[in-house]
Amino acid sequence: QSVLTQPPSVSGAPGQRVTLSCTGSRSNIGAGYVVNWYQRLPGSAPKLLIYDYSKRPSGVPDRFSGSRSGASASLDIAGLQVEDEAEYFCQSYDTSLGRFYIFGTGTKVTVL
């Protein structure tokens, strides 16, 4: 099952800043394995949003930023927009229990 914990939901008004957390452990994020973030719009395939903690693929707006602290990572959305309403999930790596690729539980962002 998912081994990275995310809050189920976060909401904010347009223009606000929201922060999504992704909490792991010493065998994954805490061990220095990178964190990637994905956005899944309703009815669409997931899209890579942030990789290697804080890098943005071409075309991703700079209002999305990522960071890591210890065994946790965060995704910041600055200047929330209506089109940001989506599910966001984090992903990392874990060599314990043979899982290798692991995912977060997902956070639904609602724009009020």
Partner 1 sequence: QVLLVQSGPEVTKPGASVKVSCKASGYSFIDYYIHWIRETPGQGLEWLGWIHPNTGATNYPQKFRGRVTMTASTSINTAFMELDSLKSDDTALYYCARSGTKDPFDFWGQGTLVTVSS
Footprint on this chain of partner 1 (rule: CB under 8 A): 1-2, 36, 38, 44-48, 51-52, 57, 89, 91, 97-106
Residue (of 100, 82, 101) closest to 91 by Cα position: 101
CA distance 33 to 110: 29
CA distance 108 to 87: 4
Give least dist CB 7 to partner 1, A: 14
Q: Which is nearer to partner 1, 109 or 111 (CB)?
A: 109
Q: Which is nearer to partner 1, 2 or 110 (CB)?
A: 2
CA distance 29 to 100: 12
Give least dist CB 10 to partner 1, A: 17
